Amino acid sequence: MQEKLSKLGPEFSRIILGLWRITDKNLDIKEIENIIKISIDSGIDTFDEADIYGDYRSQELFGEVLKRNKNLRQEIKIISKGNIQLVSEKRPGNWIKHYDSSKKYLVDSVNKTLKQLNTDYLDLFLLHRWDPLINPHEIMDTFVALKDAGKVKHFGVSNFLPDQFNLIDSKLLIPLVTNQIEVSVLNTEAFENGMLTQCLHKRIHPLAWSPLGGGELLDPTTKKAITVNETIEKLTKKYNNVSITQIALAWLLKHPAKIHPIIGTLNPERIKDAVSALKLDLDLQDWYSIYEASNGNPVP
């Protein structure tokens, strides 16, 4: 089930579990531990984090699981992100949401992340958002320092447009291995704005956040979501009564850039269901029927 993220990067499971919601449901450590183990048993070995998730608490909870299971870290890959600064009681000096892509902040962010996670290294660290004040040369120095210290194995970005990606990548001695982007059957902008084209050009595999439209696909309220949901619902029957989730993920998995969807569910059955999408190969015309439903028009 492993797939190479990039010719230069680590091997991640094709489906990734995002942990931004583990603080939402007041789960105890045993419940979180069970979710992690079920994910691994289902074939997911990669987990997506960020310093800000759960109001700066998500990584602490995940770290407790790793502390309780000493050998678990060797079985998994961990992604984290940094440069967003939230207004939070955990950050009393912040009075406005902003970005900080300075070397000092990013190195400090990684050090805090490693401490929270009870680990010595990250498999992948991403710049979380494009920063209008970003200094590409300082990013280069930062990544080299983190790499040389053995604290981060690989680097990427998140939500960067192609020209933004190219600016950073052109200054680095360590090539970026991915761009984490928003893309789903409800959000096809990455097909038109050059993000996915760039991934193909550079032979990097994108990570897809909100691959089910933030839950809107499964519980649609907008006209677009209802139309796409109805289109997919018809296809579930054609493919032996698979779930809407499986069809929506298979739609992403069919793209030649080898998209890695990051699912956000903490429901064990839904995790298993999502992994089952790997077995589903959508017919070409079925793929385009969903694309047309999402865009509201047939292709030119």
Could you tell me if residue 160 is inside a domain?
Answer: yes
pLDDT band at 2, cuts 50/70/90? very low
> Is residue 278 in a domain?
no
pLDDT above 90: residue 9: no
Asked if residue 218 is part of any domain, the answer here is: no
Q: What is the pLDDT of residues 274-288, one digit of tens each?
A: 999 999 999 999 999
- For residue 224, being part of any structural domain is answered with no
Considering 53, 56, 99, 291, which one is annotated as catalytic?
53
Query: 66: number of CA atoms within 13 Å, CB side?
Result: 21
CATH number of 94's domain: 3.20.20.100
Q: Residue 211 falls within a domain, yes or no?
A: no
Q: How far is CA 120 from the centre of its chain?
A: 21
| Number of folded domains that form the chain | 1
Within a domain: 145: yes
Whether residue 105 lies in the annotated active site: no
Q: Which uninterrupted H or E stretch holds 77?
A: strand 77-82
Q: What pLDDT, in 10s, does the model give residues 24-83?
A: 878 899 999 999 999 999 999 999 999 999 999 999 999 999 999 989 999 999 999 999
Question: pTM for this structure?
Answer: 0.95
Alpha carbons 132 and 291: distance in angstroms, whole number: 33
- Quick check: is 289 in a domain? no
Kindly state the tokens that stand for 277: 């999408």
Q: Report the candidate in 274, 164, 209 with the shortest Cα–Cα distance to residue 49.
A: 209
d(CA 64, CA 191): 39
Question: Angle 150-258-256 (CA atoms, 0-180°, nearest 5)?
Answer: 140
The range of the structural domain enclosing residue 52 comes to 2-177
Q: Is 246 within a domain?
A: no
